[in-house]
Amino acid sequence: MFPIYKSKYLIPAVHISIWLLLLGTAAFVFRTPPSDDTGLSGNFFLITTVYHIGLFYLNAYYLFPRFFNRKTWWLYILFIPAILAISYFGKIYFLHLFNASFALNDINHRIIFFPPVPFLVISIIFRVIINRAEREKNEKARKAEQLSSELKFLRLQVSPHFLFNMMTNMVSLARQKSDLLEPSLIRLSDLLRYMLYDAAKDKFLLSRELLYLENYIELQKLRFGDEVNIEFVHSDLKQDYLVEPMLLIPFVENAFKHGIGLVEKPFIGIKLEVNNNQLAFSVINNYNPQNLSKDKESGIGLANVKERLKLLYPGKHKLVIRDENAVYEIKLNIELS
């Protein structure tokens, strides 16, 4: 059973309750015969209350939204005194029609004229509130659509960039006629399956993302062997945490990209821990500051993931990047679901 505040019948139920209360009040308070002071019967108040309710909806759903705009606002301003005049003289006409002896005086004059005013004012306030709620709803829908489009675009950027680097690795192994080419291709096929099918989901199990990282790191180990000191430490995932697919790999990819080649005793350290719904992920590597050959294309993955973090985890992540003494380190904390 859905909560009542989510029901589509809530707003109509509120309207009906208010009007029934108003009609019940009119029927109870003015149930007496016409008084000498006003000459107005209880039926008059009941019938005019129904009329004022109709006037409320006429103004809220037709007159105000259609005519109160930059082009025809002046026409709407003219409608208001016209409605008041028609209501006033129309009531007097029907009073004389059903009671030829009805006499207009100061008391019933105000009773006949004034009631449409609060109904019109309240209907305008109601319409303004409805318009504002609709604008906010449309703005949220627009932002959600924009967010979805931006994320799709960013994901499309990740895959070609990643594939370019991995295919370069495969070419290198093929040129060496290495026996490692076949297991590398098998691992690469697993990675491609993840990228093409699993990563298409909005959220993914962190355990699967961890497996993806392990495959990627093992693939790099197959290529570089003992040339690079690679250390990957992670905690056991005892809960099914969810995370955005392919969110962590750009940091690891960046470490391999810049931490290998013309680097003395290269090392790459990767650590992943989860405690109290908080993901702590860090990557550290050394690099050669004088090796500028990769700078032109550097940062594509990192710029991408920074943008995705802003879109997906606003106020729920912290990214710290340290670049000192030829050592590059990132620390990422994310509040998981």
State residue 152's pLDDT score: 64
| One domain, residues 82 and 159 | no
* pLDDT average, residue stretch 30-52: 69
Q: How far apart are CA 53 and CA 47, in angstroms?
A: 10
Q: Has residue 267 been placed in a domain?
A: yes
State residue 314's pLDDT score: 87
Coil, helix or strand at residue 273: strand
Q: Has residue 14 been placed in a domain?
A: yes
Q: How far apart are CA 305 and CA 253, in angstroms?
A: 12
Q: Has residue 324 been placed in a domain?
A: yes
DSSP state of 227: G
State residue 156's pLDDT score: 56
In the structure, what pLDDT confidence band is assigned to residue 39 with cuts at 50, 70 and 90? Answer: low
What residues contact residue 238 under an 8 Å CB cut-off, 6+ apart?
Answer: none
In the structure, what pLDDT confidence band is assigned to residue 1 with cuts at 50, 70 and 90? Answer: very low
Q: Has residue 319 been placed in a domain?
A: yes
| One domain, residues 158 and 307 | yes
DSSP state of 314: T
What CATH number should be reported for the domain holding residue 222? 3.30.565.10
Q: Identify the H or E element spanning 332.
A: strand 327-335
* Cβ atoms 250, 158 nearer than 8 A: yes
Please state, as a whole number, how many other Cβ atoms lie within 10 Å of the Cβ of residue 267: 15
| One domain, residues 54 and 183 | no
Q: Identify the H or E element spanning 231.
A: strand 229-234
> pLDDT digits over 110-160, tens only?
778 888 888 899 889 999 988 998 888 888 877 776 666 666 665 555 556
| One domain, residues 27 and 169 | no
DSSP state of 248: S
| One domain, residues 153 and 232 | yes
| One domain, residues 60 and 169 | no
* Cβ atoms 151, 311 nearer than 8 A: yes
* CA angle centred on 252, ends 249 and 258, rounded to 5°: 135
Domain boundary among 71, 90, 114: 114
| One domain, residues 305 and 158 | yes
| One domain, residues 87 and 195 | no
Range of 211's domain? 148-335
| One domain, residues 93 and 178 | no
> pLDDT digits over 221-272, tens only?
877 777 889 999 998 877 788 888 778 888 988 888 887 777 788 899 999 9
**Whether residue 187 has pLDDT greater than 90:** no
* Cβ atoms 233, 210 nearer than 8 A: no
* Cβ atoms 284, 328 nearer than 8 A: yes
| One domain, residues 289 and 166 | yes
- Alpha-carbon separation of residue 273 from 83, 216, 232, 294, 306 (angstroms): 70, 18, 11, 31, 20
Domain count, the chain: 2
**Whether residue 168 has pLDDT greater than 50:** yes
DSSP state of 239: S
Q: Has residue 134 been placed in a domain?
A: no
State residue 177's pLDDT score: 82
**Whether residue 29 has pLDDT greater than 60:** no
* pLDDT average, residue stretch 79-86: 91
For residues 183 and 77, the model is more confident at 77
> pLDDT digits over 283-326, tens only?
999 988 876 555 444 455 677 788 878 878 888 999 999 999 88
Question: Residue 68 has which token pair?
Answer: 């109160």
Please state, as a whole number, how many other Cβ atoms lie within 10 Å of the Cβ of residue 260: 20
Closest C-alpha to 158, from 249, 276, 28: 249
Q: Has residue 138 been placed in a domain?
A: no
Q: Has residue 136 been placed in a domain?
A: no
Q: Has residue 244 been placed in a domain?
A: yes
State residue 12's pLDDT score: 77
